[in-house]
Structure 1
């Protein structure tokens, strides 16, 4: 078997590795209800995801009647996170082919990481609830390095590479995501990024700036082998 071209493959979480839309929508609508706002349909929440829960909430408030004070936004954000933590994996699941794809990477000796703008503790809790913790050598959240260092900055992906360890040669890594937060971070870190067309794309998939675009996880390993 020809040697696989990457030692490490990192994944975004929401809208890439896992379909978290249903659980995010319920948590968002819980917070909006506390402000007397109408609920947002699940499919419409898809366009609000990206950049973390606080940005999702701020966008949700804007489209349901306008923004609130920073203090109130903080209160509603805290309420959203508390509710989400208690209801974090009711409907969340792999996108089709995701589990088999991870099996394929493992069979090739690839280390797999998660690098998400979700709070680290919430990402860790999702994988614990779904029995997936052992799949990843590291889980890095938007708050892992402190404020202001989340994607699209390269800092979190650079931390992934640092934790992977390089030994005598540089780590060969790729990233998989669904938004410009992911493609921007990967580009800034100097590694290729594969975009998934089935996620929470904030632009048309072909306009995300990815090295390649896939429509199903069955395509990922063959695409990585060609990069």
Structure 2
């Protein structure tokens, strides 16, 4: 089999590898209920996912009656506690994801996760889902320190370092994913089935996949264009 153009392929977590929308919506609505706010439809919460739990709750408060800092400080810890205790109740892998990871691993690719979810929560979720052992690196939104989550290039560069260096690409569902890849100087592949905050075309990705079964072929095409 011909050499694969990438040594490392990194993935966002929420909305890319796993459909975590039900559990994140439940945690958000738990916090909103404690604040005496109306609950939000799960689909509305999905559009708020991508920059971490705090940003998700900020948007949830704004959408349910207006942002209030005192309320935020009171219910944010409750959201985190609820989510950690119910982290995989409704979470499921996206279709064909496991097979895509198997295919890439079979091509000798190192796999990694770079998410804006807190590292401890990402590790716990991947452990419960039986996926942790597949990844050479799991990097969270707090791993590189305050202010250094995606779209910063730092977590992508750390991913490459932890995976031993080499040619890398990144797969995600948000503008923060694509900007992080661009800032790190590597190709970004967008998934059209994720928690999109805007049309997938607006992400300015190097390529888009509509299902995980397309990933290997698309990565080969992107690698060819980028001289990988």
Provide TM-score, normalisation by structure 1: 0.96
Aligned to 1:63: 63
**Over residues 62-81 of structure 1, what are the superposed CA-to-partner deviations in whole Å (9 max), with x where a residue is unaligned?**
01000112x43133111101
- 1:155 is aligned to 154
**Residues 57-136 of structure 1 aligned to structure 2 (within 5 Å):** 57-69=57-69, 71-136=70-135
- Return the match for 2:199 from 196, 199, 204: 204
**DSSP-derived class of the 2:47 partner:** helix
Q: Does 1:181 align with 2:176?
A: yes
**Residues of 2 paired with 1:75 and 1:124: CA distance?**
26
* In structure 2, distance between residues paired with 1:60 and 1:72: 12
* 1:49 is the counterpart of 2:44: no
What root-mean-square deviation, in Å, do the aligned CA atoms of Structure 1 and Structure 2 show?
0.8
User: 2: CA distance between counterparts of 1:223 and 1:202?
Assistant: 23
Partner of 1:140: 139
Distance in 2 separating the partners of 1:107 and 1:195: 22
Q: Is the 8 A contact 2:35 2:71 kept in 1?
A: no
**Partner Cα separation in structure 2 for residue 114 and residue 134 of structure 1:** 11
Distance in 1 separating the partners of 2:59 and 2:12: 21
Which ranges of 4 or more aligned residues in structure 1 deviate by more than 6 Å? Answer: none
Where does residue 38 of structure 2 map in the other structure? Answer: 38
Q: Are residues 1:226 and 2:226 paired?
A: no
The gaps in structure 2 that reach 5 residues or longer are 223-228
Task: Say how many residue pairs are matched.
Answer: 222
